[in-house]
Structure 1
Amino acid sequence: MDFAPPPYTAPDFSLPSLATAPNATLVPAPKDFVAPENYHAMSIYPEYLKIDGEWVLARDSRMDCVAVVEDGAVFVREFRHIRAGDLIACGRTENGEEGILVYTEGFRSLAAAENGAPHPGGHDNFAFRLGRSRETAFSRDYDELYELLRHERDHGFIVWVMGPAFTFNGFSRDAFAKIVDAGYADAVFAGNALATHDLEGAYFHTSLGQDIETQENRPNGHYHHLDTINRVRYWGSIERFIQEEGVHDGIMEALVRNNVPYVLAGSIRDDGPLPGVFGNAYDAQDAMRDHIRSATTVICMATMLHTIATGNMTPSYRVLPDGTIRPVYFYCVDIAEFAVNKLVDRGSLASRGIVTNVQDFIANIAKGLGLLG
């Protein structure tokens, strides 16, 4: 059966508690970057403000931000983007009492699920193996993910969030490149390390000096990632390096060749960094959120820092251009159970964790999509 997102059930605004609710209180921001006292902090869920007697949905949300009302529309902004005089919704209740409704029942078929999948214990309050661990069977997750990705390639926007572990194995690099070539990637978030070691793999056939096929250490291999960074900096950009050095394989080459946008967010531990890496964390956040505003499926793999950052800026829903409201599917894939369950705990109705080696995961995805022999 072809995948289809569950329908959205809007709130019943004819209920007395909502029909008679007051308009939301809007208070001007006292100065740039500062919200008024008693501001309302947004969540990942659909949220409505009552404005001039009408309930208005924030079409795009992000947790721990504020709701700014302009010309009857609700915009969700980070504190660093607040400007003096912005009309900001205030109130700390969420059921309409102050003209603010945080709505968690929109996707009812998902609301009854555990981590996005049918609750293994049925309706029992006590049951074994309800969490996500190394003992969890993930076959069903894979089957559903194959169908989801096929749907999203034609009807959605797929964001991959990637740690450098992919680059340590030639097969996983090739598998993800095939996923990109087949149209299953609309944007990629990563750090300096993934791009560096992937390009090192193309340039030296090593990752951190270790052969990406045999895992044997090469003489002076510990120079390879630095030599790669140095050469990319010589050419001035990743794109120019790929062109001038004749790079023809790997993740970054596939992204560049297919014009898939990527955001490389730097960290305090980076070597180099490569040209194009964001050194300012807030500029990186803004660049990531530009793509998250379109995302309908997000798959985070082997990078706790980038995964949590992406999770914090991803709402549980998306308003499509035609006004349709659909869920955003969020996956966290990691060998560490803590990393997986950290994101499952974020509260998204569509969040799902898979505990596995990411090289094996991406190979399974490519095979399941029919991209590998």
Structure 2
Amino acid sequence: MTVSDVVELEGHIIDSGLMERAFTVVMDLGGEFDIEEFHVGTRKDEESYCRMRVIADDEETLHPILHELHQSGATLAAPTDATLTPAPADNVVPHGFYSTTNHPTDVRIDGEWVGVENIEMDCAVVVEGVENEDGNVVAEDGEVTAETKVLNGIEAGDLVVTGDAGIRVKPPERPRDSSGPFGFMQGGVSAERPSESLIRDIAEAIAETKAQGGRVLCVAGPAVIHAGGGPALARLVREGYVDAISAGNGFAVHDMERSRYGTSLGMDVETMEHPRKGHKHHIYTISEVVRAGGIEAAVEEGLITEGVMYECVVNDRDFVLAGSIRDDGPLPDTITDAVEAQNAIREQARDADLVLMLSSLLHSVAVGNCLPSTTRTVCVDINPATVTQLLDRGSAQAVGMVTDVGTFVPILAEELVE
């Protein structure tokens, strides 16, 4: 005796590889499939449709298959409402809670699909505007909403979505062509592309984002300063092409060390020489900024007169410095509480329409984990493994460059400003 269920796949499912993934999932997990209906879109603006019956020997085999298909964008042909279970305590989710992907997601409440706000991977979904009445979910007067919550944000009594029923995931589809200002952001990583033409494409993407009223977030590592890209990044902040900076203690220290002493971690960024006692410049910088009372105070006192942090202060650009156990000092502005830092990064990520990730694997991963898969992302690093790891998180609109960030940022600034 076998068990089965019917799922539907709709959209540009062939171009996006969804059909291939669906077939692979079913076979790899020990099931079979039967195509009951299949329509192929033959024009660029025409979608395809597939109705597929998934067959397995037992429920224990079928459920994992349906779960994996669901995560890839397949939906049950006869969906039911989502199951809502109250959280038993603060920071505690119910057993079997639904763990989110970074793709746009809907949940079905009282027969209606409700979009999940602030979508982010590895979170729970909490529904508000409904009440439990005799074991049923009944909409109250007013709007029903759903949003993601990290596990440490769950409060006792929150109605948390459990199981896979009544959930619809919509992975972004790969465009059928490269038309439009962001069409080039679908090619992955390549060290063979003409770098200047790709940088020009990225500059156009940033300009288009700003023209549409969007926000650009830059995740920057200390290597940006060390490799000589600091002045160009400061220029992008000053000219309004970068709205926010997400970085660590080291980036800010290197940047302000360059302003004070012309060095980055003791190395003269112009001559590449190591001046006498230059290795102490970073700790001198920290002590001077601490004595002033913070980065803003150091700028107001005239202690810091140029650089990325200077431009953030004088142009009122948002910045978040998330600390780590490796930090010297740290600076007064560095957030040393990990949960507080996560929440600050999360707010930046949610407001971003395009993200530049520049030579910072750990901070880029942290920001990337907070981004929906629809956010345009540019990753630049001299290490190809870093770029690949950052792009593999599932963004449908991402591009990677394996190059020296000290070369990339000045060319980008020239393309945008000149």
TM-score (norm 1): 0.83
Aligned residue in 1 for 2:400:
353
After superposition, the C-alpha distances for 1:229-250 in whole angstroms (9 at most, x for unaligned) are: 0011101111111221343211
Aligned residue in 1 for 2:245:
188
Residue 252 (structure 1) shift? 0.7
Residue 53 (structure 1) shift? 0.8
Q: Is the 8 A contact 2:239 2:417 kept in 1?
A: no
- Aligned-residue Cα RMSD (Å) equals 2.5
Residue 138 (structure 1) shift? 3.7
Query: Which of the numbers 267, 272, 281 marks the counterpart of 1:224?
Result: 281
After superposition, the C-alpha distances for 1:247-281 in whole angstroms (9 at most, x for unaligned) are: 32111101111100100011111100011101111
Match of 2:356, SS?
Answer: strand
Whether 1:80 aligns to 2:152 is yes
Whether 1:285 aligns to 2:342 is yes
How many corresponding residue pairs? Answer: 332
- The residue type equivalent to 2:376 in the other structure is Y
Residue 218 (structure 1) shift? 1.0
Q: Is the 8 A contact 2:117 2:147 kept in 1?
A: yes
Aligned residue in 2 for 1:364:
411
Match of 1:58, SS?
Answer: strand
After superposition, the C-alpha distances for 1:14-52 in whole angstroms (9 at most, x for unaligned) are: xxx768411100111111111111111111111010011
State the percentage of identical aligned residues: 38
Query: Which of the numbers 197, 208, 211 marks the counterpart of 1:151?
Result: 208
- The residue type equivalent to 2:155 in the other structure is R
Whether 1:32 aligns to 2:90 is yes
Aligned residue in 2 for 1:124:
none
Whether 1:99 aligns to 2:188 is no
Aligned residue in 2 for 1:274:
331
After superposition, the C-alpha distances for 1:322-349 in whole angstroms (9 at most, x for unaligned) are: xxxxxx1011110000000001211111
Superposition pairs for residues 116-127 of structure 1, below 5 Å?
117=184
- The residue type equivalent to 2:170 in the other structure is Y
Q: Is the 8 A contact 1:11 1:103 kept in 2?
A: no
Match of 1:27, SS?
Answer: strand
Query: Which of the numbers 342, 363, 373 marks the counterpart of 2:389?
Result: 342
After superposition, the C-alpha distances for 1:181-214 in whole angstroms (9 at most, x for unaligned) are: 1111111100001100111111111111221211
Residue 366 (structure 1) shift? 0.6
- The residue type equivalent to 1:99 in the other structure is G
After superposition, the C-alpha distances for 1:41-87 in whole angstroms (9 at most, x for unaligned) are: 11111101001111111132110001000111011010010111110
After superposition, the C-alpha distances for 1:291-332 in whole angstroms (9 at most, x for unaligned) are: 211111011110100011111110023xxxxxxxxxx10111
Q: 1:136 to 1:107 in 2, by over 3 A?
A: closer
Q: Larger Rg: 1 or 2?
A: 2
Larger RCO of the pair (alpha carbons < 8 Å, separation 6+): 1
Match of 1:369, SS?
Answer: helix
Aligned residue in 2 for 1:329:
376
- The residue type equivalent to 2:236 in the other structure is I
Superposition pairs for residues 250-261 of structure 1, below 5 Å?
250-261=307-318
- The residue type equivalent to 1:233 in the other structure is V
- The residue type equivalent to 1:75 in the other structure is E
In 1, Cα distance between the equivalents of 2:221 and 2:177?
29
Aligned residue in 2 for 1:165:
223
Moved over 6 A (4+): 8-12
Q: Is the 8 A contact 2:216 2:352 kept in 1?
A: yes
- The residue type equivalent to 2:256 in the other structure is L
Q: 1:110 to 1:78 in 2, by over 3 A?
A: farther
In 2, Cα distance between the equivalents of 1:332 and 1:52?
42
Could you list the runs of 5+ residues in structure 1 that have no partner in the other structure? 1-7, 93-97, 121-130, 318-327
Superposition pairs for residues 103-114 of structure 1, below 5 Å?
103-105=170-172, 108-109=175-176
In 1, Cα distance between the equivalents of 2:123 and 2:380?
26
In 2, Cα distance between the equivalents of 1:119 and 1:230?
45
Could you list the runs of 5+ residues in structure 2 that have no partner in the other structure? 1-44, 50-74, 130-143
Q: Is the 8 A contact 2:185 2:399 kept in 1?
A: no
Q: 1:336 to 1:219 in 2, by over 3 A?
A: same
After superposition, the C-alpha distances for 1:118-163 in whole angstroms (9 at most, x for unaligned) are: 877xxxxxxxxxx624334444432221111111223211100000
In 1, Cα distance between the equivalents of 2:199 and 2:267?
30
Q: 1:349 to 1:175 in 2, by over 3 A?
A: same
In 2, Cα distance between the equivalents of 1:192 and 1:217?
22
- The residue type equivalent to 1:70 in the other structure is E
- The residue type equivalent to 1:199 in the other structure is M
